[in-house]
Each structure stands twice: as structure tokens, then as C-alpha cells.
Structure 1
Amino acid sequence: MKPFNVIFALLLTALSANGQSIRLPAEWEKQEKVHLAWFGNDRRDTVLCRVVESLQPNIEITLNIPHDSLSSSIKSKLNNYKIDTTKIHFVTDPNVDFWTRDPLFFVLENQQLKMVDFNYSMYGVYPEIIDTPIPDDIKSIGDYDKRLAAQINYLGASPRGIRIV
């Protein structure tokens, strides 16, 4: 059995232990907001601008940026696409990367939104340190899901969910 399947099964069991049923919202369900990440790569960010351009009239957007000092240049690029940056919630996290999409969200029977924190250990990324404790500077990258969960809880997400792209 694949490791993800085992983790997923254990997660479902743990969340069901309190007697509440849980469900994973489908991609086509109505969502409260979409959380995106700015990569600082022109090709990726051009595509991201097109995604924001398409989404913005219909849904709230949170944009994760790597540093506050980049805010004005990012807003300038978004403005080139006629995107209203006053309607985007900017969040700063220095470790923006492709795993932004990895956390999973569940809705409990009582309509409470929960997010899974996989405690990503950066396995496979740094083979030279496989048998040693993960250095703090690298570990902070893997704590992205924990920081994202805190942001989402702070922003008051509803059970309608948030799509991470």
C-alpha cells in the first residue's frame, strides 16, 4: 500500500474517533476563498496573474508572498493585468514553493473546517542529512502547512472551504 494511502486511512480513523463523520470537499463545491503562492518566477507568475484575473470577480483570494519588500513590485505586475489588488489579502511566508497545494482540508459533521498538518520533514530533498535531525533552517520550510493552518484559522475560514493552488 502506498504511504499516502496509509496516512490518509490513519487520518480518517483519527478524525472519526470522536464519533463525527468527516468529508473531503470536492473540487467543484463552492469555496470561500482560494489561497495562491507568488513564486518570483516570471513564467509561473504570469500564469498566476491569469488565474487571479479569472478568479477575482467570483471568489476571495489570499496571495502568499515571500517577503513584504516585494509587495509593491508584485502589486505592479498584478495591476498590469487589471487586477484589483485591494481585494487580495496578502500573506507573507518566506518559504513559498510548490507544496503550497499539499495540505488537505476536511469538514466535520458539525460543519467545522479542519486542516491536516502532515509535519512535512523534507524527506528525500536533502539525502545527505537523512540520518541526522533536520536543521532548524530547513525544518522551517517543512512547517509550511502548520503556518498555513494558523493563517486560515486566523482569517476565519468557513466550512465551505479554501482551495490551495
Structure 2
Amino acid sequence: VNTTNTKELIAAKNKLNRLSPNVKAVVADEIKMYMAEGEAPIAVDWSGEATEMMSQNAHLHYVVPTEGSNMWFDNLVIPKTAKHFKAIYAFLNFMNKPENAAQNAKYIGYSTPNTDGYKLLPKSVRDDKQFYPPKRVLDKLEVYSNLSAKKVQQYNDLYLEFKMHH
């Protein structure tokens, strides 16, 4: 996920080029429609987006590749320019109350990292290994590193080459 090895990056782009005939589209939000309507059989997307698609198409499943994948997080942050700290902390504290974290997770379909909130989720949600995978799966996930600007540019250039090839 975080390779800075140019040969590995080029090999990955070349593999994507070989897979390109099987690619319907390189899109963002439009993928939800393709998947929900059965127009595409597979997509790379976030778990919360997957729950929305799965609610519209019972034939869909959310799968983490056995080789591993990226681990990502939605965050609640305080901007440097913020002024209303009392209100900000009240909101953050409110969202972090277990009952609110659980309700938020149920509503948006994203997993919650709030362990007390997790305990309040229905058993069917807590036991859903698609969205709360076991440790052996989590151990193969990587958080994106903050790569150098030069390396990010290389990633972007190779991705653009792939999109143009497609």
C-alpha cells in the first residue's frame, strides 16, 4: 500500500493496464449506481458506501482481499481556525457517547471504533465479519503513509497513465 519502490509501482500500473479490458469505468460516486443496479460485478469502495449498495442489491457483499488492503478512518477534527471551542468539544463529546456512536454507526453504515458504542450495536451488526473483521484480517491492513510530494506525484502520474490507457 505504501511502496516507494518505483519498479513495484510501475508493475502495479502495468497489471492495471492488463486488467483494463475488464474495467467498466474509473469513477467515484457513480459506482454506487453501477453496483446497486448490477451493471458492474465488482468495485473498490468504502465499507459505508458498500452498505448503501448492499441495501439496494442483495447479491452484493463487502470483501477485504485476503492479501490485505488499506485501513482508513473518518475523523472528527478541529480546524486550526476554529473559534467556538466550547461548542466543538460539546459536539465531539456528544458524538463519542457510546449510545450516539452506536446510533451513528447504524445510521451511516460505517463501523465504529468506539468500543463501548460497539457493544450497544445489535448482535447481527457486531457479528458481521464484512464490517467488523477478525484480527487476522485487520493485521493485514495498512494505514496510508504520508509520502513525499515527489512520490505522491509519481503515484498520480502512474494513475493518470492507467486512466488514459483505459
When normalised by structure 1's length, the TM-score is 0.27
Structure with the larger helix share: 2
Name the structure with the higher strand share.
1
Of structures 1 and 2, the one scoring higher in RCO (CA 8 A, sep 6+) is: 2
Q: TM-score, normalised by structure 2?
A: 0.27
Structure having the higher Rg: 2
